[in-house]
């Protein structure tokens, strides 16, 4: 993966609705309503995301990706810096 690809991923992250994203599954996380992904918190809360055709695991993956992908990108950058300093 080159720097251009990392930058393109970072741009997609920055264009997406702000986080954190949290997966809510009826019967697991709440008792009425539909399954959804809550976006943002408090004053910066965005629209809920509702998916069709997704499994619970798919929804959890999508919600966690909002937090996981930025962390992974930062770790790649950190490790590259370490390698470049040696």
Q: What is the pLDDT of residues 27-56, one digit of tens each?
A: 999 998 999 999 999 999 999 999 999 999
Burial label, 62 (beta-carbon count in 10 A; 0-12, 13-18, 19+):
middle
Segment 53-63 shows an average pLDDT of 98
With a CB cutoff of 8 Å and minimum separation 6, the contacts of 6 are 73, 76, 77
Could you give phi then psi for residue 37, rounded to 5 degrees? Answer: -110, 120
Q: What is the pLDDT of residue 86?
A: 72
Structure token pair of residue 7? 């930058």
pTM exceeds 0.75 for this model: yes
């Amino acid at each position: 993966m080159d720097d251009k690809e990392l930058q393109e991923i970072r741009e997609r992250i920055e264009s997406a609705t702000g986080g954190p994203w949290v997966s809510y599954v009826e019967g697991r996380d709440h008792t009425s309503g539909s399954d959804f992904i809550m976006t943002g918190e408090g004053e910066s809360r965005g629209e809920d995301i509702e998916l069709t055709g997704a499994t619970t695991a798919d929804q959890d993956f999508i919600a966690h990706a909002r937090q996981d992908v930025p962390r992974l990108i930062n770790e790649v950058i950190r490790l590259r810096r370490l390698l470049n300093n040696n």
